[in-house]
């Protein structure tokens, strides 16, 4: 049974948004520590795996492109110093969440189209 069906949708969304925010803040912390000369890469918490799983995406090995797109987005966001206040963090987390929802819908549509029988035009 998928994780999403076990929780009410609103609560699930809230948990996922909090995990996205936590992951962005953790990534920002690691980046900051690395910038002052500390090797902090081992302190990355891999929180993204949790919210990807809650949204029924696979692990990194199964979803390498999706994960790497997210990691690139997170790094760009941090480099642009966009996590300066809670409102910005909330907006960015919501943007990530909405992009992941769109990816879910895109995959569902692709699967639906792949399983739909093709019409043959016998009357021509």
Q: What is the mean pLDDT of residues 101-107?
A: 94
Q: Is the pLDDT of residue 2 over 90?
A: no
Residue 53 included in any domain? yes
Beta carbons of 30 and 43 less than 8 angstroms apart:
yes
Query: Is residue 109 left, alpha or beta, with left meaning phi > 0 and alpha meaning psi from -120 to 50?
Result: alpha
Kindly state the DSSP code that residue 118 receives in the 8-state scheme. Answer: P
**116: pLDDT confidence band, cut at 50, 70 and 90?**
confident
DSSP 25-89: HHHHHHHHHHHTT---GGG---HHHHHHHHTT---TTT-HHHHHHHHHHHHHHHHTT--SSHHHH
Q: Is the pLDDT of residue 8 over 60?
A: no
Tokens of 108: 């569902």
Residue 20 pLDDT: 97
pLDDT tens per residue across span 57-91: 999 999 999 999 999 999 999 988 888 889 999 99
Residue 81 included in any domain? yes
Which residue reads 């797109």 in tokens?
69
Residue numbers of the domain that contains 22 = 3-111
Its pTM stands at: 0.82
Residue 37 included in any domain? yes
Residue 10 pLDDT: 74
Q: How many domains does the chain have?
A: 1
Residue 90 included in any domain? yes
Residue 11 pLDDT: 80
Residue 118 included in any domain? no
Residue 119 included in any domain? no
- 9 against 1, higher pLDDT: 9
């Amino acid at each position: 049974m998928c994780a999403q069906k076990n929780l009410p949708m609103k609560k699930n969304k809230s948990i996922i948004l909090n995990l996205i925010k936590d992951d962005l803040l953790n990534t920002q912390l690691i980046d900051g520590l690395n910038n002052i000369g500390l090797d902090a890469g081992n302190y990355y918490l891999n929180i993204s795996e949790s919210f990807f799983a809650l949204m029924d995406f696979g692990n990194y090995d199964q979803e390498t492109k999706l994960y790497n797109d997210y990691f690139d987005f997170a790094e760009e966001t941090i480099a642009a110093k966009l996590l300066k206040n809670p409102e910005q963090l909330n907006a960015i987390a919501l943007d990530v969440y909405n992009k992941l929802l769109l990816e879910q819908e895109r995959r569902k549509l692709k699967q639906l189209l792949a399983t739909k029988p093709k019409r043959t035009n016998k009357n021509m």
